[in-house]
Structure 1
Amino acid sequence: MPYAKLFRSRWAALLWAGGILWSAVEFVGVTPDKQAVAANATTDTDVTGTAVDANDLAVLANAISEK
């Protein structure tokens, strides 16, 4: 079917676009790989690049609750 005839009908164009989206989902998938998510996990750091620990969070919570 030539593309010029395809886009004369709104419904044919929608079905064609739906087929493209369906193909993309089938090829790539919907859910991320669990291993990739775990591999990208890093520790939290502050602006200076120092790792944040529980003491830092307690000081921050205390500062917020005083106001």
Structure 2
Amino acid sequence: MFGPSLTSIFRSRWMALIWAAMVIWFAVDVAGSAPNPSANRSIAATADATGAPVANEDVAALRRFTQGH
């Protein structure tokens, strides 16, 4: 399609490593890094997806339900 053919890339170990590094770099660039879940913890404890306030008791009940206690 475009670029070197796969057979010519994998003839050399170094070219294969460079090709793999470029694929990983492209994937990270497109997908971005994972979000930090602790950054949203205070927001999740005070509001739901619609922005309505959530009581701490509701959060505790949901935690107990999901953890099976």
TM-score, structure 2 length as denominator? Answer: 0.51
Percent of aligned positions with the same letter in both sequences? 33
SS in 2 for 1:32: coil
RMSD: 2.9
1:47 maps to 68
1:32 maps to 35
Please, which of 13, 16, 25 is the counterpart of residue 13 of structure 1? Answer: 16
| Unaligned stretches of 5+ residues in structure 1 | 49-67
Q: Which structure has more RCO (C-alpha within 8 Å, separation ≥ 6)?
A: 2
2:6 maps to 3
The higher radius of gyration belongs to: 1
Amino acid at match of 1:32: P
Structure 1's 18 and 40: CA in aligned 2 closer, same or farther, altered over 3 A?
farther
How many residue pairs align between the two structures?
47
Structure 1's 47 and 25: CA in aligned 2 closer, same or farther, altered over 3 A?
same
